[in-house]
Chains A and B, each alone.
Chain A
Amino acid sequence: MYQYDEIDQTMVEERVAQFRDQVARRLTGEISEDEFKPLRLQNGLYLQLHAYMLRIAIPYGTLSSRQLRGLAQIGCTYDRGWGHFTTRQNLQYNWIKLEDAPAALADLAKVQMHAIQTSGNCIRNTTTDQFAGAAHDEIEDPRVWCEIIRQWSTFHPEFSFLPRKFKIAVTGSPNDRAAVRVHDIGLRMHKNDAGEIGFEVIVGGGLGRTPFIGKTIRDFLPKQDLLSYLEAILRIYNQFGRRDNLFKARIKILVHEIGIETMREKVEAEFAVSKHGALKLPQEAIDQIAVQFAPPAFETLSGISAEYANAFRTDFEFGLWARRNTFKHKQPGYSIVTISLKKEGAPPGDASAEQMNAVADIADRYSFGEIRVTHEQNLVLPHVKQSDLPAVFKALKAWDLATPNVGLASDIIACPGLDYCALANARSIPIAQQIALRFKNWERAHDIGELKIKISGCINACGHHHVGHIGILGVDKAGEEFYQITLGGSADDQAALGDLIGPSLNTKDAVDAIDTLVETYLRLRKSSDERFLDTYRRIGIAPFKEAVYVSA
Chain B
Amino acid sequence: MSLLKHGRLVGEDAFQPVADDAALPASGAVLVTYARWQAEKEQLSGRNAPLGIILPNTVDALDFGPEAERFDLIVLHFPKFSDGRAYSQARLLRERFGYRGELRATGHVLQDQLWHMQRSGFDAFEIPRPDAVEAFAKASRTFSHVYQPTGDGRVSVLKQRLAIHTKNGPDSQEAAE
Residues of A in contact with B (beta carbons under 8 Å apart): 5, 7-8, 10-11, 14-15, 18, 22, 31, 35, 38-39, 121, 148, 151-162, 227, 235, 238-239, 243, 273, 277-279, 281-282, 284-285, 288
User: Are A238 and B84 in contact (CB-based, < 8 A)?
Assistant: yes
A234 to chain B, nearest CB (A): 9
User: Are B120 and A14 in contact (CB-based, < 8 A)?
Assistant: no
Q: Which of B131-151 contact A (CB under 8 A)?
A: 142-150
- In the complex where A278-B174, A288-B162 touch, is A158 in contact with B87 (Cβ < 8 A)? yes
Is B91 an interface residue, CB under 8 A from the partner? yes
CB neighbours of B110 from chain A (8 A)? 31, 35
User: Are B82 and A161 in contact (CB-based, < 8 A)?
Assistant: yes
- In the complex where A152-B147, A157-B150, A162-B84 touch, is A7 in contact with B160 (Cβ < 8 A)? yes
* Docked complex Cα distance between A311 and B116 (Å): 58
User: Are B81 and A35 in contact (CB-based, < 8 A)?
Assistant: yes
* Docked complex Cα distance between A235 and B89 (Å): 9
- Contact string against A for B residues 71-89, beta-carbon threshold 8 Å, 1 for contact and 0 otherwise: 0000000000111110111
CB neighbours of B160 from chain A (8 A)? 7
Is B2 an interface residue, CB under 8 A from the partner? no
- Smallest CB gap from B142: residue in A: A18
* Docked complex Cα distance between A159 and B177 (Å): 19
- In the complex where A35-B110, A157-B119 touch, is A282 in contact with B162 (Cβ < 8 A)? yes
CB neighbours of B70 from chain A (8 A)? none
Is B18 an interface residue, CB under 8 A from the partner? no
CB neighbours of A153 from chain B (8 A)? 147-148
Is B112 an interface residue, CB under 8 A from the partner? yes
Is B10 an interface residue, CB under 8 A from the partner? no
* Docked complex Cα distance between A11 and B61 (Å): 32
User: Are B88 and A239 in contact (CB-based, < 8 A)?
Assistant: yes
B164 to chain A, nearest CB (A): 9
CB neighbours of B89 from chain A (8 A)? 239
* Docked complex Cα distance between A494 and B42 (Å): 58
Q: Which residue of B112, B118, B119 contacts A39 across the interface (Cβ within 8 Å)?
A: B112
CB neighbours of A14 from chain B (8 A)? 142-144
- Smallest CB gap from A25: residue in B: B111
B104 to chain A, nearest CB (A): 17
- Smallest CB gap from A241: residue in B: B85
Is B60 an interface residue, CB under 8 A from the partner? yes
* Docked complex Cα distance between A7 and B143 (Å): 10
- Smallest CB gap from A10: residue in B: B144
B76 to chain A, nearest CB (A): 12
- In the complex where A151-B157, A285-B162 touch, is A161 in contact with B83 (Cβ < 8 A)? yes
Q: Which of B81-108 contact A (CB under 8 A)?
A: 81-85, 87-89, 91-92, 95-96
* Docked complex Cα distance between A377 and B177 (Å): 42
CB neighbours of A279 from chain B (8 A)? 148-149
Most-contacted residue by chain A among B110, B145, B159 (CB, 10 A): B145
